[in-house]
Each structure stands twice: as C-alpha cells, then as structure tokens.
Chain A
Amino acid sequence: MNELEQEYTAGFTTNVESELTGRGLNESTVRLISAKNNEPDWLLEFRLDALAKLDIMTEPDWAELKYTRPDYDNIYYHSRPKKQFKSLDEVPQEILDDFEKLGIPLHERAKLAGVAVDAVFDSVSIGTTYKEKLAEEGIIFCSFNEAVQHHPELVKEYVGSVVPQGDNWFACINSAVFSDGSFVYIPEGKRCPLELSTYFRINSAGSGQFERTLIIADKDSYVSYLEGCTAPQRDENQLHAAVVELVALDRAEIKYSTVQNWYPGNEHGVGGVYNFVTKRAQCRGVQSRVSWTQVETGSAITWKYPSCILQGEGSIGEFYSVAVTKGHQQADTGTKMIHIGANSRSKIISKGISIGNSTMTYRGLVRMNPGAKNARNYTQCDSLMIGNNSRSNTVPYTDCRNDTAQIEHEATTGRVSDEELYYLATRGLDPESAASAIVNGFCRSVLNTLPLEFAAEANKLLSVTMEGSIG
C-alpha cells in the first residue's frame, strides 16, 4: 500500500519572538529555570535532587521502539515568548490566533462554554480561563508556577508523591527541568462545575516541552479534566517529556481524558514529536476512582503508560484507550493497575490500530499485591492492523500475589487486508472512508466513554488521521 502525503492540520508555526535558554541538561540550566520561575528553595532542591539521580539512571530500552536517542545536551530546556504577559489581554494576537485555529478560543467573549482552559505555549502557561469563577467554589485551577507561588503548601505536599523523581529516566529529566504545567485542587465535597482542560502547544524549534500536571481531588469531590496537544511541522524531532500526577482521596473521582495529536513526522518518518510521558494516579482514599481515557493519534514515538495505584479499599481504576499509528509512527503504550487495597477493581479497554509501516505495542501490567483481597481486574485489548505492512504487539504482564484476587484477560488481533479495502472500494468507498468506517466501529466502546464535547472532537481527529494514510 502506498503512503500518500499526509495532512497534519495543526502543523503551522506561530511567528512570535521566543527566548530560548537553558541549553543542555546541567546544573546551570536547572538553576536558571528555577530562578526564572522565582521558585522557593525547596523546589530548587527537588530539581537538583532529580538532576543528581539522573547520573545513575539510564534511558529505558525495553520498549518496542527504534529511534535515535535525543541529544540531551543540545536541547533548550526553556522557551518562552520574549514579552511577559500579566493577563490574557497582553498575550499577542498571534498566539491567541494560534489557539483559535486549533479550536481553543481564550478570549473572555469567545470562551468555550462549560470548559475552563489553561493554555501552555512552549514552556509557559499563557492564560487560564474561568479562573475567578472556579475560585468562588474554592477550586484552584492555574498554571503550575502560579500554584508554587500562591499555594506552596499544597504543591510541596503532593509533587513527586505519585511519581518520585527517580521513577524513570524521562520522569527524572522532567523533575529536573520542568517549566510549567497545570495545577488543580478540588476541595472536599465539591463537584467541579466545569470541564477543566489544558492545551499544550510546542512552537519553538530545538526546544522540548517538559510540563508537570498535578491534580488533587479531596474527599468526596469530582473533576473531569482534558488535555490536548499539537505541535508545528518540523524536520527535527521535538522532545516532550511530561509528568502527570493525580491524587484521589476518599470517595473522590477524577476523570482524565487526553486527545494527543503531536506532529507525527512526515511520510518518510522524518521529524515528529518524541512523546515520553509518565502519568500516574494514586487512588489513595477508600472508594476513590480514577479513569484515564486517551485518544492517541500523533507523535513519531509514543512511550506512555497511564497507571493507577489502587491503594484505598474499594478504589477503582479504569483505562480506556484508542491509539492509532500510521506512516512510520511507533507507539509503545498501555497501562499499569497496581492493586493494593482490598476489593479494589480495575478495568482496561485498549484498542490499538496500526496503519501503513507503523508499529503499535500494547504493554500492560496488572498486579495484585498480597493485601488486595477480592480485588478484580478485567482487561480487554484488541488490535487491528490495516494493510499488509503494519505491525502490532500485545504484551500483557500479570502478577497475582493474592489467592482471592481475580484477573480476567481477553485479547483479539485482526488485520484489515488489502482484499477487504478492495471489497469496500467495489462498493464505492474510497480507501480513507473504508478504513475510517472500520476504525470507528472498532473503537466505539472507548469513544463512548469520552465526555460528550470531546467525543465529537475525537471522532473528527480519527477521521482526519485516516485521511491520506491509505493509498
């Protein structure tokens, strides 16, 4: 099957003068970032600690991914528009237009109804909508740096408590040089009245994005959160190494959805974002609940395993994933469910689709610790290959240390052959519509779990992804 020129609609570059600093992974970069953010000493210590740990760590090589290691000493770890803005009014029109083009209006009058947005442009958050309205409810939704300034006690208590600095190579880099990100705190008993959303955009060349998201849902609270990501089309690879930490206390619920559409590289496999992300939730309280939903269509390389530590008794973890690779994309993605509390439950539904010359690997771990009495897991992972050159792997690990725990696993693998695409063509369906119809049917059970506003977006994204991917 021929790969046609693939269209990446978010691939434009915004013409804003940026200040690139902090070249190389070293102490002066770390100190520079910390100073730019005007951070307290304890946070600088946190960063330096991570930098020290990096010395004894190595980049993981166990994933089914082939790529040239990033040259960590040649990356600019901090990029921000030259001019500083105190409020959204000061943000240059180019940047606002950029977000507008991506369907994320930030201006007061054009704000998305029912959705509060934090927009992160390269290394800095440029604005958060509905902040005051949320503050009336006691909900904190702001950039990570603002949280450090205004709510240091909360940040200090929780940062690194779910993903410690030395957790893995990429998380450790992030802990040393993270620039900004989003922070959410939902107070006890509050149901967040809006969907919260962060929109990440890498613009500058030669830079990386290292953001940190920290969400804390206090007892009996609820929040639904969505992140979206895009980047311009560039020939060099851009590095994205984020850390997301979620903490759910007693009976709290966090719903975290991702629509990831980083630039995947061109049809020859040149360029594209390296997406190395550590996402982990700790269901700390009794009957707490976290759901990860992800629609992953972008990035040249994806290395990502949103996980749940089910510590609280009766806590629930869920992972719903649709991942599509095409062209020369490679994805190694899945989840981990670590059952610690009794009666904890988890559910994994993963749909992987590989098209063209791409490779898709599902990698998952379900572990039942000795204390996880009567814990249960259900896993269903299905993979679909389209065309005759795509590859798919399924690597489910299970580790059961409690006799009363139950693990159930179902998996299917299918291939949409050239013969099937031809058959649909004989009925008048062009190759993209044919693949799109098959993929939509295949993914329905996951797409149905997305918040309504984003289900439409995800559907659109999937069909755009199909465009030009099959020839």
Chain B
Amino acid sequence: MISVEKLSASIGDKQILNNISFTVEPGECLLITGPNGSGKSTLLHTIMGRPDITATGSIKIRSGELIDIPCHERSQAGVFMAHQSPPAIDGINTMTLFKEIQKVQNVAGSTSELIKLTKSLFNWIGLPEGWEKRQFNNGASGGERKKNELTQAVYLQGKTQVLLLDEPDSGLEQSSRQKIIDLIQETKNRRGCVLLVTHDKELQELYSANKLDLSNA
C-alpha cells in the first residue's frame, strides 16, 4: 500500500502540488487524472524522489516513510517508475545497466541467467535483436524507450511494492497495450499497488474505479 498525506511539492519557487492526501490499498490501481500541467507527472516524481523537487508532507509505504530518503533508496525499497520520456545514456550499455540493477536490487541469478532472461524479455516485448549490447536507449525511438521501461518493470516486478506508470502507452502500438494491462494485473496479484497516469481512453476506462483528480489541486 501507499499512503500519501498532506503532500505539497515545488520546483524552484513554483508550487506544483498543494496538500494532497490519498491511500492506495495493496492490490489496487489508482488512476490519476487532470488536465496538462495539473501535476500528474510531478506527483509521480515526488513519490520517486526527484532531487530538484522540494516536498513536504508524508509518503508511507509498507517499509516506512519515504519523504526524507533519496531516490535510489526509494527504488531499493520497492518503488518503480516507468518514465514518460526516459533518457538515452552514453557510455553504458543496456546489459551493463541490467547487471547494475541486479546488483543494487539484490536480484538472484548468475550473469548468464540474467543475459538469457533479459534477451527473452526483449524478444517478448518486441525490441530488436542485439538490443542488450546497445548503448542505453541510444538512437532508440520513443516507442522503443517505452518498451525498455516495461522490460525493466517486468524484471523487477517481484520486488515492486509501488509501480508508478507515467503514460506507459504513448508511442506504443496497440498490441503492446495488453502487456501493460498484464503488468498491472501481475502487480495487483502480488499485492503491490499501481499509480497510473495515461491519456489512453481505453486504459482510463478500465481503471476508472479508483481515481484521483488533480484538476483542482
């Protein structure tokens, strides 16, 4: 579960979120809605702990309070974010990143098992052959980057308590949408919770039972 209380957030001297409170129970998905600029992405980044966001209030997950700990510790505590526009990173190839993730997140398995697993994940999500050897997201299209995010989300789903999905569908073909639905379902089955930001009408409808509207926040 995740419990957010009186959360306010600003970037520089611009206040973006003001006094927001909500709780998502284990196995639930919360759809976050609101017009552009209402702070949907900022809310996810505030929970994730982006360093340039100043936040006050409380963000609690099963393992404790997050508000004062740095981003990488929140990640290690089980918060996963699929970014809306993930960057390309020169000097680090995709496989190296997976190895680093395996190390810091204490995921079991030998290197050869990891290579096998990630290759099959890339294949399943529809990323090109040899993807693991490429510099991370170098020359990748928007859609490929989104797929890369989903692959990592699936790789870490056993550890994830809180899954933050920031427009996971944009730029993806229709057939990939089902994979997002599967990922959400799998997270719910594992008693994790999901915070979803999306402009996709179908996904909005599917998860409309539990909504947080930021229009007036």
Contacts and interface: CB of A to CB of B under 8 A. Distances in A.
Q: Do A and B come from one complex?
A: yes
Interface of A: 384, 414, 416-420, 422-431, 433, 437-439, 441-442
15 contacts: A384-B90, A414-B90, A416-B89, A418-B51, A420-B87, A423-B89, A425-B70, A425-B75, A426-B48, A426-B72, A428-B101, A430-B70, A433-B104, A438-B90, A441-B91
With most chain A CB atoms within 10 A of its CB, the pick from B72, B86, B87 is B72
Contacts of B65: none
Nearest to A430: B72
Given A429-B104, A437-B97, A414 B91 contact: yes
Contact of B152 (A418, A427, A431): A427
Interface of B: 48-52, 70-72, 75-76, 80-81, 83, 86-87, 89-93, 96-97, 100-101, 104-105, 152
Contacts of A437: 92, 96-97, 100
B54 to A, nearest CB: 14
Contacts of A424: 72, 89, 97, 100
Contacts of B96: 437, 441
Does more than half of chain B's interface fall in helix, strand or loop, or is it mixed?
mixed
Given A418-B52, A437-B92, A441-B92, A429 B87 contact: no
B91 A422 contact: no
Contacts of A422: 50-51, 71
B48 A428 contact: no
A442 B90 CA distance: 8
A207 to B, nearest CB: 39
With most chain B CB atoms within 10 A of its CB, the pick from A426, A431, A438, A439 is A426
A431 B104 CA distance: 12
Contacts of A441: 91-93, 96
Given A441-B91, A441-B96, A425 B72 contact: yes
Contact of A428 (B50, B76, B86, B89): B76
Contacts of B105: 427-428
A426 B90 CA distance: 17
Contacts of A417: 87
A419 B152 contact: no
Query: Which 10 A-B residue pairs are closest in the complex by CB-CB distance?
Result: A442-B91, A428-B75, A425-B71, A428-B104, A425-B72, A438-B91, A441-B91, A414-B90, A428-B76, A430-B72
A442 to B, nearest CB: 4
A442 B89 CA distance: 11
A149 to B, nearest CB: 50
Contacts of B51: 418, 422, 425
Given A425-B75, A428-B75, A437-B97, A420 B89 contact: yes
B73 to A, nearest CB: 8
Contacts of B104: 427-430, 433
B89 A427 contact: no
Contact of A423 (B52, B76, B83, B93): B83
Contacts, number: 76
Contacts of B86: 423
A51 B89 CA distance: 52
Contact of A416 (B48, B76, B81, B90): B90
B78 to A, nearest CB: 10
Contact of A419 (B71, B75, B87): B87
A438 B75 contact: no
Nearest to A2: B51
Contacts of A438: 89-92
A442 B92 CA distance: 7
Given A422-B51, A433-B104, A427 B90 contact: no
A426 B100 contact: no
B213 to A, nearest CB: 26
Nearest to A353: B91
B29 to A, nearest CB: 20
Given A433-B104, A437-B97, A426 B91 contact: no
A21 to B, nearest CB: 49
With most chain A CB atoms within 10 A of its CB, the pick from B83, B86, B87, B152 is B87
A427 B97 contact: yes
B81 A426 contact: yes
Contacts of B71: 422, 425-426
Contacts of B72: 424-431
Contacts of B52: 418
A246 B182 CA distance: 66
Contacts of A420: 87, 89
Nearest to A421: B51
Nearest to A386: B91
B146 to A, nearest CB: 14
Contacts of A414: 90-91
Contact of B91 (A384, A418, A419): A384
A430 B104 CA distance: 9
A420 B51 CA distance: 12
With most chain B CB atoms within 10 A of its CB, the pick from A417, A425, A428, A442 is A428
B87 A427 contact: no
A384 B90 CA distance: 9
Contacts of A427: 72, 75, 97, 100-101, 104-105, 152
Nearest to B70: A425
A411 to B, nearest CB: 14
Given A428-B105, A437-B92, A437-B97, A423 B87 contact: yes
Contacts of A428: 72, 75-76, 101, 104-105
A413 B93 CA distance: 17
Nearest to B152: A427
A438 B75 CA distance: 19
Contacts of A431: 72
